[in-house]
A and B are shown apart, each in its own frame.
Chain A
Amino acid sequence: MNRLRATSRSRASAKSKPSADRYVQLVVVALMAFGVVAVYSAVSFLAETKAGGEPERLLLRHLVRVLLAAGAIVVVSRMDYRRLARWSKPLLLGSLGLLLLVQVAGVAFGGATRWLRIGSVAFQPSDLAGVALLLHLSVLLTRKQSYINSFDRGFLPLLFWILMTAVLIGIENLSTAALLTASMLLLCFVGRVRVLHLAGSGLLGLLLATLMLLTSPQRAARVEAFLGTKIFPHTEAEAVFDPQNEGYQARQARIAFAMGGLTGVGPGKSVQRDFLPAPYNDFIFAIVAEEYGLIGALLLLGALLVLLFRGYLRIARHAPEPLGFFLAFGATTMLVLQGFVHAAVTCGLLPVTGLPFPFVSYGGTSLLTSGILVGLLLSVSRRVQSPETERS
């Protein structure tokens, strides 16, 4: 009897003051835990060359980053997103400035200058710029809802910021830029921007992307490898025979899927981690599929689906005001879309790019950014008007 009363009391208190969304927290913790295990296995090859043969050292680094991300979640989720939104413009301008700085003082990593080094910490400003853009677009969308159909007053400013950010990121990291643009256009779509405008800017985006492909043989080669034909005049045919080339990676990833089968080869028994480049990061989904099979891969995708449904239908839909709605939708979209694109890349549905899987991949900035996004999502969820309160 007592116990029953206690439960009902706690439920009552939850009704009066909604706490951060449990499912989202659960999913994030599950993803992180899964990531730690998967990364431990996947870094073993890297460890042989970089950490003196001790994958534990890299695992420890990953653990620290996971904790950092968890910290970011806690901190951001306790912030009031409305107060944060007031700083959206300077935040965005600041991160765009950082992006420019990368161009000037960026440190070359793996063929692309995406990293900024401050002291001993290196990070990718492009991910942070994405968060800033989401924040600012949500603010703008909220503000322009009454005249959103207008092109020059409504959509043009939005497009301006999207383009600014996408171009600055896209110079060095086309896939991140494309992903961000797609997420932002979806945000605009949900923010009632006219479909005609969106379609037009979508076309513009395609044009821009093509331009970027034409300026970089490396990029073009990836697309060619994906399509299996040579279409660009400036790419090198020999790239096909280079073991580091994109066709090789896609094939090795497919082998990983094939080896995994339904139930996988078992935790830590991946073989393809030795053949896939950056298995701990760009191909973690393939490693999961190899070690845990179709079941493990579907669990991972299922986790994202839970995030998607909670983010859209629970948090965004019941957000107290449009800003919360846009933030929740945008953050969810960015996270989930990135995970899906990552998975699609590893199994060969999309050309090879270096996108991490949120919370699972080994990579500090990605973890931190994902943490901030989830933090925002949870921050909104704290102010959700639960269906019960709505009814009452």
Chain B
Amino acid sequence: MLTRLYVVLTLMVLWPLAIAGRMLWIYLGEGAALRAEGRRQMRAVVEIPAMRGEILDRAGRALAVNTVRYDLALDPEVEGFAAQASAFFERLARLTGRSTAYFRRRVARRASPRYVVLWRGLTEAQKKVVESWEVPGVILEPRFSRWYPYGSLAAHVLGYVGADGRGLAGLELQYDRYLQGRPGRRVVQRDRRGVLKPMVGGEVVEPEHGQTLVLTLDLIRQTILEEELARGVAEAGARWGTAIAMDPRTGAVLAMANVPTFDPNRPAVAPAEARRNRAITDRMEPGSTFKLITAIAALEQGVVTLDDTIDTGAGWAVFAGRTMRDVHAYGRISFAEALVHSSNVGIAKVATRLKPGVLYQYARNLGFGQPTMIDLPGEVSGTLKRPSRWSGTTLTSMSIGYEVDATPLQILTAYCALANGGLLVRPFVVAERRSITGEVLWRARPDSIRRTFRRETARRLLPVFERVVNEGTGKAARVEGVPVAGKTGTAFKVVDGRYRPGAYRASFVGFFPADDPQVALIVVLDEPRRSIYGGQVAAPIFRRIAERWIGTFPKIAKRMAPREELPEQVARPLPTLKGQPLAVARARLQAEGLRVRVAGPDGALAFVTDQRPAPETPVTPGDAVRLEATPPDTLARRMPDLRGLSARQAIYWLATFGVAVRVEGHGQVVAQWPDPGIPLPSEVYLRCR
């Protein structure tokens, strides 16, 4: 028995030897390959999304922010869904405004058996509602989306993003690289079902959040410009209109708008026409506004002085077999007067004295035929014919703004040169790029491309263009108290390669104050019906914008202080002021020239509780507005919904009410405690992402 026991024992001892041998064999033989395979199958790389940078106006007001939206998806085959299906569809229909049939159809026609997206872009509040239904199979997927708090404001400048969060137009496209940031990644562990879980010691690359763009645009000025442009376009019955304002000294775009416009929050519902930034993408024959270039060339070349008389005859002349007409017959007038009254014949006659190619050279130097290099996508360069391709009529036609194509921005840039004494500036929209922490990474440096004509020439021409406004075609652009220089333009419109009778483009371009230009502004209307003349439809828009803008330029407003009488008193609807800080409401009313009377305490933290007259009542400057105010402690101030705001905005807002804020994370507020609606607490907790 014992012998056999030893035999078995010996056999048994062989096992661990064999196993240990086998293990060594694995390590030494295929160990490296197996380890590589093991690492490969266990690792997965997950992207950490970077937050898109915000777009702020000149004063830091957010024009484009990020919000969390939720996609509602459904797994209709989850146990227990079928029982609640009809109730769920009905509630969803009520929530979204679509019919129950729509959702039923989506579920019925789903491509994947266990997944169908029913609705995109639920807000936080809507998401909570859906969650409260507790329907099995409902999947709510958070998604960062872009939010433009002011809707269509500056839509053409801002542009919009696609569903994937990439910029598709405007600044969103132009600066996509900076706005987008770089997503981070995290190495996670993956099991055999593909389920991911965090890996201890897994490599993590933090995302690089997108940069913040600070624009040269100003929210308030942009609003005014858009309001007045829309109103002017409507009044003139024009097909579309565009307006751009620039600081002629730097090239900073102060405002830029087009009508019709669109809501970048929902770009798809607007026609492509409405999404076009015509200020830089539409080229047109400028017409009379181009006479500036002829005047500069003629003066600089010494072929004429402003006081030389020119015979414009009976208001028509024939150049190379083609007749050119003036609106009126002016007879013998000075060159200056030819400009003031926009005499085509007079200007063309002077142009014939120029050597061939000189007008081309000046136009070229002033930026025609080449893009302005503004930092917006889609800009066209227009066309400026080379002298070698000129026909017999080109010189005289071009001298009055035909046979040359330019964008409104190019024309404005040329007038900026007049305003700043002869320098061609590069227009720009983005003033700064900042990191998410607010550090300035890049600052736009105003760039004058070249000197295009002598300062002396500008000095001599300036009074002429002031006269255009004071006594010439641009009288409608006159602003009381502020000298304005400018030029009207009325051009035949080319439709399908030929001039269409009755179709015109009316424009007015100018700057103010003429003696110290701070704003250059162009207004272009397409096919205005009330009147075809730029002086009658575009100039008033210029004036109304200028009038309302003056208050936003302290330097201009100051020189207007000693004025005796108010400018033309326009009745405007009174804005809703209830709920606003008293200081803000007061400033707004005063800017409109209204007198403010306050009932109740007038502390720094007071709030407007009521106003008289009621909102929307038309008021004219000088009218009194009575505001009732309450200090915040007696006013049952409610906790607002801060989600979607940037942390900075939320903190700023809360700080105004003396509320302590505790913030977790940075970026945009995604959650807040307490919930909106309860009386404002002394401390608020925000979570940002």
Contacts and interface: CB of A to CB of B under 8 A. Distances in A.
A226 interface: no
Given A274-B189, A312-B5, A254 B19 contact: no
A217 interface: no
A258 B12 contact: no
B22 interface: yes
A8 B27 CA distance: 49
Most buried by A among B4, B30, B32, B190: B4
A27 interface: no
A294 interface: yes
A203 to B, nearest CB: 18
A221 interface: no
Contacts of B37: 255
A122 to B, nearest CB: 25
B30 A274 contact: no
B566 interface: no
B195 to A, nearest CB: 7
Interface in B319-349: none
B38 A257 contact: no
A45 B20 CA distance: 28
Nearest to B26: A257
A257 B18 contact: no
A269 B35 contact: no
A67 interface: no
A371 interface: no
A34 interface: no
Nearest to A45: B191
Interface string B5-28: 101110011011011101110110
Interface string A261-302: 110000001011011000000000000010000100110011
Contact of A189 (B8, B30, B189, B195): B8
Interface string A321-344: 010010001000100110010011
A122 B282 CA distance: 81
> Main secondary structure on chain B at its contact with chain A?
helix
B200 interface: yes
A144 interface: no
Given A274-B42, A275-B42, A317-B2, A258 B18 contact: no
A243 B200 CA distance: 26
B1 interface: yes
A96 interface: no
A192 B1 contact: yes
A340 B200 contact: no
A243 B2 CA distance: 48
Contacts of A190: 1, 4-5, 8
> Main secondary structure on chain A at its contact with chain B?
helix
B34 interface: yes
A146 B8 CA distance: 22
B188 to A, nearest CB: 12
Interface in B523-578: none
Contact of B200 (A269, A297, A302, A344): A269
B5 A258 contact: no
Contacts of B22: 344, 347-349
A151 B200 CA distance: 64
B16 A301 contact: yes
B18 A349 contact: yes
A322 B2 CA distance: 11
Contact of A255 (B7, B18, B34): B34
Contacts of A189: 4, 7-8
B16 A340 contact: yes
A85 to B, nearest CB: 18
A336 B200 CA distance: 36
Contact of A257 (B1, B2, B15, B23): B23
Contact of A297 (B23, B41, B189): B23
Given A275-B42, A344-B18, A348-B22, A255 B35 contact: yes
B109 interface: no
B34 A258 contact: yes
Interface string B310-321: 000000000000
A313 B20 CA distance: 23
Contacts of B26: 254, 257-258, 347-348
Given A255-B37, A317-B2, A347 B30 contact: no
A302 B15 CA distance: 11
A180 interface: no
Contacts of A192: 1, 4
A348 B13 CA distance: 18
Contacts of A294: 20, 23-24, 27
Given A259-B38, A275-B191, A191 B1 contact: yes
A246 to B, nearest CB: 15
B192 interface: yes
Given A243-B192, A294-B27, A275 B8 contact: no
Contacts of A69: none
Contacts of B32: 258
A308 B192 contact: no
A48 interface: yes
B31 interface: yes
Contact of A261 (B9, B16, B27): B27
A145 to B, nearest CB: 9
A302 B38 CA distance: 28
Interface in B17-68: 18-20, 22-24, 26-27, 30-32, 34-35, 37-38, 41-42
Given A344-B19, A348-B22, A274 B192 contact: yes
A340 B19 CA distance: 8
A258 B39 CA distance: 11
A297 B18 CA distance: 13
Nearest to B32: A258
A48 B34 CA distance: 26
Interface string B479-491: 0000000000000
B27 A257 contact: yes
A178 interface: no
Given A344-B19, A347-B22, A186 B27 contact: no
Contact of A275 (B2, B31, B192): B192
A271 B189 contact: yes
B1 A325 contact: yes
A287 B38 CA distance: 13
A269 B201 CA distance: 11
A308 to B, nearest CB: 6
A140 to B, nearest CB: 15
B26 to A, nearest CB: 5
A189 B4 CA distance: 7
Contacts of A313: 9
A100 B19 CA distance: 36
B614 to A, nearest CB: 60
A269 B32 CA distance: 19
A112 interface: no
Contacts of A199: none
A294 B28 CA distance: 12
A31 to B, nearest CB: 15
Contact of B23 (A269, A271, A347): A347
A39 interface: no
Contacts of B200: 269
B189 A305 contact: no
A334 B31 CA distance: 32
Given A325-B1, A347-B22, 13 more contacts: A254-B26, A255-B34, A256-B38, A258-B27, A258-B30, A261-B27, A274-B42, A305-B13, A312-B5, A313-B9, A337-B12, A343-B19, A344-B18
11 contacts: A48-B195, A243-B192, A255-B37, A257-B23, A258-B26, A297-B20, A301-B20, A305-B13, A308-B13, A337-B15, A348-B26
Q: Which 9 A-B pairs have CB atoms at the shortest separation, nearest pair first? A: A274-B191, A258-B34, A340-B15, A255-B38, A301-B16, A258-B31, A271-B42, A257-B26, A347-B22
